[in-house]
Amino acid sequence: MPHRPLLHRIDAYIIGQLLIALLLVTTGLVALIWLTQSLRFIQIIVDHGLSPLVFLKLTFLLVPSFLATILPITSFIVVLFVYSRLAGDRELTIMRGIGLSDMKLARPALGVALGAVLLGYALTMGLVPASISAFRAYQFEIRNQIAAFLLQPGVFTQVTSHVTVYVQARGPNDSLRGILIEDNRNPASPATILARTGQLVVTPSGPMVVLQDGSREQIDAKTGRLDLLTFKRNQISLAQTAKAMTPDETNAAQAPLGALLHPRKGLSAGERGKWLVEAQRRLTAPLTALSYSLIALVAVLGGAFRRHGGLLRPAVAVGIVTLLVALELGVQNLAARNTALLPFIWVVVLVPGLVPAFMLVRQNGPRG
């Protein structure tokens, strides 16, 4: 009977090494990706004097999507590294010497891989769509608030996609002089607004300019004549349109799984394909953590022990996983154009896991 407690201690020993390595590798890669992706936000934060907390909140909302993407890769790396180290230190040889089969040796890695699969589903089904939605809403809020800081004297500034502002001078307390605004929010009747002075005001709905002593020039769409309207006081919003403030309904990354599986009417064929592919990707992507881990296990457990020169099988495993990642992306792109190829998304995820699983079962049994 002492065999079972020993087996449990071996499982705990391997699982401990796998979890520590998985935590370190995943944290390191997430931090690296976060750093490279957040560089594009640094300049706008520094130039406009926003709080570092704004930068941290904005960029950390992207972390769940980074984690969901790299978790299968880090699971593969960790299983391959830990078991290769165990083989190099002859610990696997000793474990096999006491009668442990390859399936028993693989059990700790399979348990960790299944945990990664469950974490992956929690991310892709709930946390990632919610964080992306929050990121887009917060990004819009920041853009609206910093539009007030973008106005530079003597420069034509495009504060939104349809509004361009020029100010001759900017005084204390956000007072403006010599203002020209090109407002194209209504494409049928664009307007040019001139004002002698003005005041920049930041409101909860975005920045606004209160104009004094000015005129509004606009072409009448029916007659083609120039209409000129003078005013003593007027106000112009520099915020993005109300439509931009609502969630982007065509963004598949933010939609729940039910909406992805049954795209709403009105979507083009291309958009509908993207929604269906995103649904299949969410359902299959977490499973790759198990498939990749099985490939790593076969690479290490399937070969004879070599103290030196045992890098061929791990190198082949790395090559196979690299090709699988590229193949998955390629199939998803093709399926978005032709939805008849959607089942192949499952094929390229499940088959690479079933093959090494069959190989492990086939070679199962005590080995010396």
- The position carrying tokens 């001139």 is 194
Q: What does the pLDDT average to over 87-116?
A: 88
**Average pLDDT of every residue of the chain:** 83
**Residue 154 has what pLDDT?**
84
pLDDT over 70, % of the chain: 84
**Residue 50 has what pLDDT?**
63
Residue 203 pairs in a beta bridge with 206
**Residue 305 has what pLDDT?**
47
Under the banding of pLDDT at 50, 70 and 90, the label for residue 153 is confident
Under the banding of pLDDT at 50, 70 and 90, the label for residue 150 is low
Q: Name the H helices within the chain.
A: 3-47, 52-60, 63-88, 91-97, 102-122, 128-150, 242-245, 257-261, 269-284, 288-301, 312-337, 343-362
Spatial CB neighbours of 190, under 8 Å, sequence gap ≥ 6? 182, 183, 184, 218, 219
pLDDT tens digit sequence for 272-306:
888 999 999 999 999 999 999 999 999 998 755 45
Q: What does the pLDDT average to over 120-132?
A: 92
Top pLDDT among 39 and 353 is at 353
**Residue 56 has what pLDDT?**
81
pLDDT tens digit sequence for 344-366:
999 999 999 999 988 888 766 54
Top pLDDT among 143 and 338 is at 338
Under the banding of pLDDT at 50, 70 and 90, the label for residue 70 is very high
CA-based nearest residue to 257, from 276, 233, 241: 276
Q: Does residue 318 have a pLDDT over 60? A: yes
**Residue 108 has what pLDDT?**
93
Least confident of 77-91, 148-162, 275-289: 148-162
- The position carrying tokens 């020209």 is 180
Q: What does the pLDDT average to over 205-217?
A: 83
Under the banding of pLDDT at 50, 70 and 90, the label for residue 320 is very high
Q: How far apart are CA 123 and CA 213, in angstroms?
A: 55
Q: Does residue 152 have a pLDDT over 50? A: yes
At 93, the amino acid letter reads T
Spatial CB neighbours of 155, under 8 Å, sequence gap ≥ 6? 166
**Residue 144 has what pLDDT?**
60
Q: Is 321 exposed, middle or buried (0-12, 13-18, 19+ CB in 10 A)?
A: buried
pLDDT tens digit sequence for 236-267:
877 654 344 444 445 788 888 888 888 888 78
Q: How far apart are CA 90 and CA 368, in angstroms?
A: 12
Prediction pTM value: 0.73
Residue 52 pairs in a beta bridge with none
Q: Report helix, strand or coil for 266.
A: coil
**Residue 323 has what pLDDT?**
96
> Which tokens belong to 167?
């100010």
Spatial CB neighbours of 156, under 8 Å, sequence gap ≥ 6? 164, 165, 166
Under the banding of pLDDT at 50, 70 and 90, the label for residue 183 is confident
Query: In this structure, are residues 271 and 250 in contact, taking their beta carbons and an 8 Å threshold?
Result: yes
pLDDT over 90, % of the chain: 33
Query: In this structure, are residues 362 and 102 in contact, taking their beta carbons and an 8 Å threshold?
Result: no
Q: What does the pLDDT average to over 152-163?
A: 77
CA-based max dimension of the chain: 99
Residue 176 pairs in a beta bridge with 170, 198
Residue 236 pairs in a beta bridge with 209
Q: What does the pLDDT average to over 148-164?
A: 74
Q: How far apart are CA 224 and CA 317, in angstroms?
A: 70
**Residue 246 has what pLDDT?**
45
> Which tokens belong to 149?
């800081």
Spatial CB neighbours of 291, under 8 Å, sequence gap ≥ 6? 72, 324, 349, 350, 352, 353, 356
**Residue 149 has what pLDDT?**
58
